[in-house]
Amino acid sequence: MTAGQPAPDRFRAYGPRHLDEIAARHGLPDDIRETVRRISLVLPFRVNSYVLDELIDWDDVPGDPMFQLTFPQRGMLPADDEERLAKLSADPADRPLLREAVQEIRARLNPHPSGQQELNVPTLDGARVPGLQHKYRETVLYFPGQGQTCHAYCTYCFRWAQFIGDADLRFAAPDPGGLLGYLRAHPEVHDVLVTGGDPMVMSTERLRGHLEPLLDVATVRTIRIGTKSVAYWPQRYTTDPDADDVLRLFEQVVASGRQLAVMAHFSHPRELESDLARRALARIRATGAVVYCQAPLIARVNDDAATWNALWRAELAAGAVPYYLFVERDTGPYDYFKVPLARAAEIFADAYRTLPGLARTVRGPVMSATPGKVVVDGVEETPEGSFFRLRMLQARQPSLVGRPFRARYSATAAWLDDLELDPATPADLAAAVRAGTAPEGTPR
Ligand SMILES: *Cc1c(COP(=O)(O)O)cnc(C)c1O
Ligand code: SF4
């Protein structure tokens, strides 16, 4: 380190136990602090000094989008639940009742705690391969066991059940052995998407242990890493003790002749404004890795066209590629965050219209559902009424990829299962869509 420069931040996670410290340091009003305390009994939060100091605008809480993104809020739970939590937490004698109430509220918010990880788990020689999901022909998702948390939590994240310890973590892979066996048996898989949690919470040594063996598998042509680290802890690529090592690891993957894609999760243009974030992006790009950007559309965080337009422009300016805008799925405080499909399509179209051509690589709004990834291309007015124009961007069955279809327009529908398909939809497509419309986890 150069003399005279401040010592770089070392990563430290802050949670509900540090709420008073955070509130005092950033001048959080008492009433908001108490709301956060109550709601966080049910919905976890986790932040770090970078999120607190660089991303949140404390003069604008609670409305600030980064505060909404990382702290639990009034309105995320029904008012009577919040009251009940307030009452029971006032008296230490009520502790057992409080614990019961928390369990009960959580169970209502998350009826299928382990459903997410159980889907699309492939088998090899008749045994399930933990830590893998294989849904689309080209791509296998890989969940390394030590990468199942994040630098900070997003309040809308469907992984919250995992973060409170409800979901079964045995689905994750202790080591890449199962993945390697599966890839050798499935040469049609060319793409491994390493996801979590956030794989970039791992030390470089650990990450190397998961990635390096893939370089011996000739059929693997691309490796993707899904991560929010550039937004939530850019020090991972700048000042962390093993920041240089991780960049060297990226270079090594690129030097092997493979495409390395960092699938970066950016929710708001502010996440690209800090010098650290820009330096992190520049350093990642200098390794030869390509940065693709994606995020869900979330009420109160980024539900307006100007925000997305600014975000995609900022990504392009940083040399990154806008990739997907997702529709938020039903989990946790879904009613708080959801945006109807009609509104999502409008926001997307308005934000897209004035983009430079090079930023029009982005697609959305996209629902990641059981049959595949379905994009809402817009609304079509016909003599028979209005319809959503939909298209399969990804499908379990390759024959369905790219196929357009329609559903009756609805101003309030927020997911595929709220939609009424046009009766003229081709039978194979209609069958696939009707067979399952449930949301499936969206890897980043
Ligand atoms: C989105 C997704 C992928 C990757 O899809 P791309 O369109 O190639 O980015 C892979 N597997 C699953 C299960 C997905 O949901
Ligand atoms: S959205 Fe990504 S970064 Fe945010 S909590 Fe979920 S897994 Fe972590």
153 Cβ below 6 A of ligand 2: yes
pTM (predicted TM-score): 0.95
Among all bound ligands, the one having the nearest atom to the CA of 373 is 1
Pick the most confident of 130-139, 150-159, 165-174: 130-139
Among all bound ligands, the one having the nearest atom to the CA of 44 is 2
CA nearest ligand 1 atom 6, residue: 394
228 Cβ below 6 A of ligand 2: yes
Cβ-contact 379, 387 below 8 angstroms: yes
139 Cβ below 6 A of ligand 1: yes
Ligand 2 atom nearest residue 226's Cα: 2
Q: Write out pLDDT tens, residues 348-387.
A: 999 999 999 999 999 999 999 988 999 999 999 999 999 9
141 Cβ below 6 A of ligand 1: yes
Instruction: Pick the closest to residue 208 from 227, 223, 190 (CA basis).
Output: 223
Among all bound ligands, the one having the nearest atom to the CA of 233 is 2
CA nearest ligand 2 atom 1, residue: 157
Backbone φ and ψ of 156, nearest 5°: -90, 0
Q: Write out pLDDT tens, residues 406-442.
A: 999 999 999 999 999 999 999 999 999 887 656 665 5
Task: Please state, rounded to an integer, the average pLDDT across all residues of the chain.
Answer: 93
Query: Mean pLDDT throughout 183-202?
Result: 96
How far is Cα 65 from Cα 29, in angstroms, rounded to an integer? Answer: 17
Among all bound ligands, the one having the nearest atom to the CA of 371 is 1
**DSSP string for residues in 6-64:** PPPPPP-EE-GGGHHHHHHHHT--HHHHHHHHHHTTTS---EEHHIIIII--GGGTTT-
**DSSP element (H, E) containing 387:** strand 385-395
Return the CA Rg of the chain. Answer: 22
444 Cβ below 6 A of ligand 2: yes
Instruction: Pick the closest to residue 268 from 233, 232, 292, 239 (CA basis).
Output: 232
Collapsing DSSP to helix, strand or coil, 277 comes out as helix
Give 385 Cα–ligand 1 centroid separation in angstroms. Answer: 33
Alpha-carbon separation of residue 333 from 106, 218, 294, 318, 319 (angstroms):
10, 43, 21, 33, 34
Query: Mean pLDDT throughout 204-219?
Result: 98
Ligand 1 atom nearest residue 120's Cα: 13
CA nearest ligand 1 atom 8, residue: 139
Give 438 Cα–ligand 1 centroid separation in angstroms. Answer: 16
What the chain holds in terms of domains, given with CATH numbers, is: 13-107 (no CATH), 123-435 (3.20.20.70)
Q: Write out pLDDT tens, residues 154-169.
A: 998 877 778 777 666 5
Test site for ligand 1: of 195, 290, 325, 373, most ligand atoms within 8 A of the Cβ:
373
Ligand 2 atom nearest residue 159's Cα: 6
pLDDT at position 423 is 95
CA nearest ligand 2 atom 7, residue: 197
394 Cβ below 6 A of ligand 1: yes
Query: Mean pLDDT throughout 180-186?
Result: 97
pLDDT at position 19 is 98
Collapsing DSSP to helix, strand or coil, 378 comes out as strand
Query: Mean pLDDT throughout 196-222?
Result: 97
Tell me if the bond preceding 62 is cis, omega within 30° of 0: yes
Give 211 Cα–ligand 2 centroid separation in angstroms. Answer: 21
pLDDT band at 332 (very low <50, low <70, confident <90, very high): confident
Alpha-carbon separation of residue 13 from 7, 46, 201, 382 (angstroms):
18, 6, 11, 53
Ligand 2 atom nearest residue 228's Cα: 3
Ligand 1 atom nearest residue 139's Cα: 10
CA nearest ligand 2 atom 6, residue: 157
Q: Write out pLDDT tens, residues 252-267.
A: 999 999 999 999 999 9
228 Cβ below 6 A of ligand 1: no
Instruction: Pick the closest to residue 347 from 304, 287, 295 (CA basis).
Output: 304
Give 308 Cα–ligand 2 centroid separation in angstroms. Answer: 19
pLDDT at position 168 is 62
pLDDT band at 69 (very low <50, low <70, confident <90, very high): very high
pLDDT at position 1 is 45
Q: Write out pLDDT tens, residues 71-128.
A: 999 999 999 999 999 999 999 999 999 999 999 999 888 765 544 556 788 999 999 9
Query: Mean pLDDT throughout 187-210?
Result: 97
Query: Mean pLDDT throughout 289-301?
Result: 98
Among all bound ligands, the one having the nearest atom to the CA of 155 is 2
- The alpha helices in 72-111, defined as continuous H runs, are 79-90, 95-109
Give 162 Cα–ligand 1 centroid separation in angstroms. Answer: 21
How far is Cα 221 from Cα 294, in angstroms, rounded to an integer? Answer: 21
How far is Cα 186 from Cα 174, in angstroms, rounded to an integer? Answer: 21
Count of alpha carbons within 13 Å of 197, Cβ hemisphere only? 26
